[in-house]
Structure 1
Amino acid sequence: MTAEDEALTGGMTNTGAVFRRGAVVERPAPRNARTLHAHLLALKEHGFDAAPTPVCLTSDGREQLGFIPGDVALPPFPDWAMTSSALESVGSLLRRLHTAGTAVTVDTRAGWPPDLADPEGGTMLCHNDVCPENVVFRDGRAAALIDFDWAAPGRALWDIAMAARYWVPMLDPASAAALHPRGLDAAARLRVLADGYGLSASDRAKLPGVVEQATKVCRAFVARRVAEGDPVHLRALAERGGWERWDRAQSWLVDHRRTFTAALLD
């Protein structure tokens, strides 16, 4: 890191290893970076210009990407990032990604990370980590997605469910209050996200169940990181209520499944 470098914060995977140098961001390259870069360029060719533009891979295992100006919400998440209009724009941005993604053939030999991937698979590349730290805003609306490290083939509905976990959020009120503004109406916000995306009636009926499925996958992901002794996830688990918080959130999702379904379909 030089005096001209600016450390970029946010996220848990590459903490302390992402830097901006002028118009370029340099960060650790994922193992399948060459294929991922090709996919990002193909998305741009099909009209999705709201992702980082690959610049190059360095000899020391890092990648350089074009910097995307704007605002990124970091925890605890500010009120401006949790408005209904911001949430609607996240759904709209995700729909743009998926529309372009349906036109791009996914290289299934690329070794996409399975950690947060849709267990049912799919033919489209999902982002899989559309959390507030990975969405760039301009003028209060979602303008771009960053950090495609966990991208993998899956269903569009899986990507929406993963985004809902973070943005609604799909958490019991006690858990949500740790990072989000108090008083958010989860059922109403899930409807806003679905409306912003333009989700079909059949997928709306399935969404609450897929959120439950996604929550189990995320819990297993955290459990693997904790078992490996990863200090970032160990600290986060301790600070956010341990496994009791995960148990409470999963039970809350099941208990409110009918409420979410009604809000989505009424």
Structure 2
Amino acid sequence: MVATLLHEIPLEGGDVTDGVVRVGDTVRRPVSASTPAVHALLRHLEVMGFAGAPRVLGVDGLGREVLTYLPGVSGVRLESVTDEALEGLARLLRDYHDATAGFPLTLDGWEGGSNDDRAPDVLGHCDLTPDNVIFRAGRPYAMIDFDLARPTTRLFDVVTTLRHWAPIADPVDRPPLLRNLDVGARLRLFCDAYGVPPRDRRRLLELARLRFQRSYTVMRGRAAAGGNWAKMWAGGAGERIRRAAAWLDVHEDELHAHLV
């Protein structure tokens, strides 16, 4: 058990987990039903030599998980919206996927969520939003918050990431720095840097549409149980998903042309 220290700095960002604080060079987070599975994954990544994730240090006297603190910045910033940043993120995700090789791809212990219909081939992060990517010296070097990780396909995790980073969203819902970017060109750039094969590129937008449909249903169900999911839903999460799906319907042909 890791001793609890007194000086705690609240860490903001993200939508679901409250009570995350920094204590020295550690992060303390409330545990959940998926914490044992997440810790097993993080320990596997450490054994595999993947440096882009926090290390598990244990549990403190208040029953919170204790992870290493990864210095840097997150969120949508000038340095995070460049082509170089997007290419770096694609390589980071590819390295992470490769590092999950050998980890059990069973659904037991994970929080779950929307998913692909095909058999899982990786343990996906499934929530690689700008708040969950850490930049240092202008380069994305680490990912945090694995609470929504689960067995899935590489392509589903790519689609989930591009939802936020291309972004596949109605311009009205994009952060200002992402509002006027060429989404099709960014889809192509990310796929090139990751190494997404042609057969998967042809299916990418189809899977994005499926993810919108299923994410809407999953989020609506979780919102009915209350908590932060309800706050997100009340804040318009469902409407944003619907607008993103409608935007994709209008622009699918031009986006597909970039991919194939």
Alignment TM-score, normalising by the size of structure 1: 0.87
Distance in 2 of aligned mates of 1:175 and 1:32: 30
Is residue 16 of structure 2 the alignment partner of residue 13 of structure 1? yes
Aligned residue for 1:115, secondary structure, equals coil
Residues 113 and 234 (structure 1), Cα distance of their counterparts in 2 relative to 1, 3 Å cut: closer
Q: Which stretch of structure 1 is more off in the superposition, 124-133 or 30-39?
A: 30-39
Is residue 30 of structure 2 the alignment partner of residue 35 of structure 1? no
Q: Is the 8 A contact 1:56 1:63 kept in 2?
A: yes
What are structure 2's unaligned runs of at least 5 residues?
A: none
Q: Which runs of structure 2 are paired with 1:1-266 in the superposition (5 Å)?
A: 4-15=7-18, 17-58=19-60, 60-73=62-75, 77-102=76-101, 104-106=102-104, 108=106, 110-177=108-175, 180-230=177-227, 232-240=228-236, 243-265=238-260
What are structure 1's unaligned runs of at least 5 residues?
A: none
Once the 2 structures are TM-superposed, how far is the Cα of residue 3 of structure 1 from its aligned partner? 5.3
Distance in 2 of aligned mates of 1:164 and 1:114: 20
Residues 64 and 172 (structure 1), Cα distance of their counterparts in 2 relative to 1, 3 Å cut: same
Aligned residue for 1:90, secondary structure, equals helix
Q: Is the 8 A contact 1:101 1:124 kept in 2?
A: yes
Aligned residue for 2:141, secondary structure, equals strand
Q: Is the 8 A contact 1:165 1:171 kept in 2?
A: yes
What one-letter code is carried by the residue in structure 1 that aligns with 2:95?
A: R
Distance in 2 of aligned mates of 1:47 and 1:143: 14
Paired residues, number: 257
Q: Which stretch of structure 1 is more off in the superposition, 113-122 or 50-59?
A: 113-122
What one-letter code is carried by the residue in structure 2 that aligns with 1:36?
A: V
Distance in 2 of aligned mates of 1:196 and 1:180: 22
Percent pairwise identity: 33
Aligned residue for 1:215, secondary structure, equals helix
Distance in 2 of aligned mates of 1:225 and 1:165: 20
What one-letter code is carried by the residue in structure 1 that aligns with 2:12?
A: T
What value does the CA root-mean-square deviation take over the aligned residues?
2.2
Alignment TM-score, normalising by the size of structure 2: 0.89
